[in-house]
Homo-oligomer: A and B are copies of this chain.
Amino acid sequence: MTKHPDPIQTMLVAARRTQILDAAITVFSEKGFHRATIKEIARVAGIADGTIYTYFASKDEVLLAVLDRLNETTERGQQFVLGDEQDLKAFFRAYLQQRMALLWPNAEVFRAVLPELLVNGELRRQYYEQVLAPTIAVGEQFFQAQNEQLQITIPLTVRAIAGTLLGVLLLQLLGDEVVASQWEALPEVLTALFFDKVV
Contact = CB atoms under 8 A, between A and B. Distances in A.
Contacts of A199: 88, 146-147
A168 interface: yes
Interface in A115-137: 115-120, 124-125, 127-128, 132, 136
A173 B132 contact: no
A101 interface: no
Nearest to A192: B153
Contacts of A115: 32, 114-116, 118-119
Interface stretch (A4-12, A77-85, A176-184): A176-184
A159 interface: yes
Interface in A72-100: 88, 92
A162 interface: yes
Output the residue of A35, A111, A167, A190 with the most chain B CB within 10 A.
A167
A2 to B, nearest CB: 12
A3 interface: no
A92 B197 CA distance: 13
